[in-house]
């Protein structure tokens, strides 16, 4: 029995190294700053071009928020226009949420009302098809500018 353990240990000490062969496929680096397909709203799904889909997504999202804001009269004290920068996040599941809202100084007095209206309009947005990277749904963030004009 002692001899068996000795042979086993010698065998493991003096065993030949196994050579491994590497797979000849080269790994491509992943560009985390770009995506293969942008998030999509239902109105943009049938467009074939990636650029058209991106433009449609921004246009339709802005339109939906603007329509929501137009349903509520906003009285701006200044006759100048103001800009709201809404940073949005679309999850891997296609759920949209607000990360931040930045309101320009020109319309800062309406901040509470505008913030509330934008949050409500975002909740009304239908399910979004998430962005795709290497065939996998990914979370994306983007900033959407909204221009407020006093009519």
pLDDT over threshold 60, residue 8: no
Please, what are the domains in the chain? 34-148 (3.30.1150)
pLDDT over threshold 90, residue 141: yes
How high is the pLDDT of residue 52?
A: 92
Contact 142, 96 (CB under 8 A): no
pLDDT over threshold 80, residue 58: yes
Run of H or E residues at 119: helix 111-123
How high is the pLDDT of residue 4?
A: 45
Structure tokens at 104: 């320009």
Residue 83's DSSP bridge partners are 147
- CB neighbours of 123 closer than 8 A, spacing ≥ 6? none
- Tell me what the mean pLDDT of segment 115-129 comes to: 89
Contact 105, 81 (CB under 8 A): no
Look at 69 and 130; give whichever has higher pLDDT.
130
Q: How far is the C-alpha of 118 from the C-alpha of 124, rounded, in Å?
A: 10
């Amino acid at each position: 029995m002692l001899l068996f353990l000795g042979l086993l240990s010698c065998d493991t000490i003096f065993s030949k190294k196994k050579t491994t062969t590497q797979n000849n496929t080269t790994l491509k680096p992943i560009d985390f700053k770009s995506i293969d397909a942008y998030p999509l709203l239902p109105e943009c799904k049938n467009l074939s071009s990636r650029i058209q889909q991106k433009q449609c997504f921004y246009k339709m999202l802005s339109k939906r928020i603007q329509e929501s804001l137009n349903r509520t009269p906003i009285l701006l004290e200044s006759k100048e226009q103001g800009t709201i920068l809404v940073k949005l996040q679309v999850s891997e599941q296609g759920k949209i949420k607000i990360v931040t809202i930045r309101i320009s100084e020109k319309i800062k007095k309406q901040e509470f009302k505008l913030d509330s209206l934008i949050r409500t309009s975002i909740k009304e947005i239908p399910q979004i098809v998430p962005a795709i990277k290497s065939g996998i749904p990914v979370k994306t963030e983007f900033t959407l500018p909204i221009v407020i004009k006093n009519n």
